Amino acid sequence: MNPTKHKCPACGREVEFDSNANAASCPHCGKSVPEVVPPATANLLIFFAVLLAPAVLALLGALGKIEGLAVGSPLVGGGIAGIICGVMLARRIGRSAGSRIGIGILFVALFAVVSFTLSFFGCLLGGFQMNMH
């Protein structure tokens, strides 16, 4: 794989190690060098498109009187959008694998609620009336 470069926390020299290595240690002083995962880039256009897609589908379902689409897109699409947006943002913000997982769990729940709420307003804007028969 590609070797990555890090500064040794003990001696300050630049250390290069392969990502396949089990443990990385500084060849100069012998101290352990922690693996730093580079942040992933998040494309904001894709992020907002995924977040708003269930709301747009709910609006179209309400306008077209397609009850399955108007009800299903917030419930299913909101959860899927929450997962995708939460993971995208956690990969961008998190500095280590552990922080990415923790932040990701919080963001998935947050963005699922946000997407569901936006979808609710999409149905409301489209004039959707729930048929309870």
Alpha carbon distance 127, 21 (integer Å)? 59
- pLDDT tens, residue by residue, 41-73: 558 889 999 999 999 999 999 899 888 888 899
Alpha carbon distance 34, 44 (integer Å)? 30
Alpha-carbon distances, residue 60 vs 44, 87, 89, 113 (angstroms): 23, 27, 27, 20
pLDDT at site 55: 93
- Tokens standing for residue 60: 């179209």
Averaged over successive runs of 10 residues, the pLDDT of the chain (133 residues) comes to 64 67 66 61 83 93 89 91 93 86 94 92 82 66
Cα 115 from chain centroid (whole Å): 13
> What pTM, to 2 d.p., does this model score?
0.64
Alpha carbon distance 2, 20 (integer Å)? 9
- Structure letter (DSSP) for residue 76: I
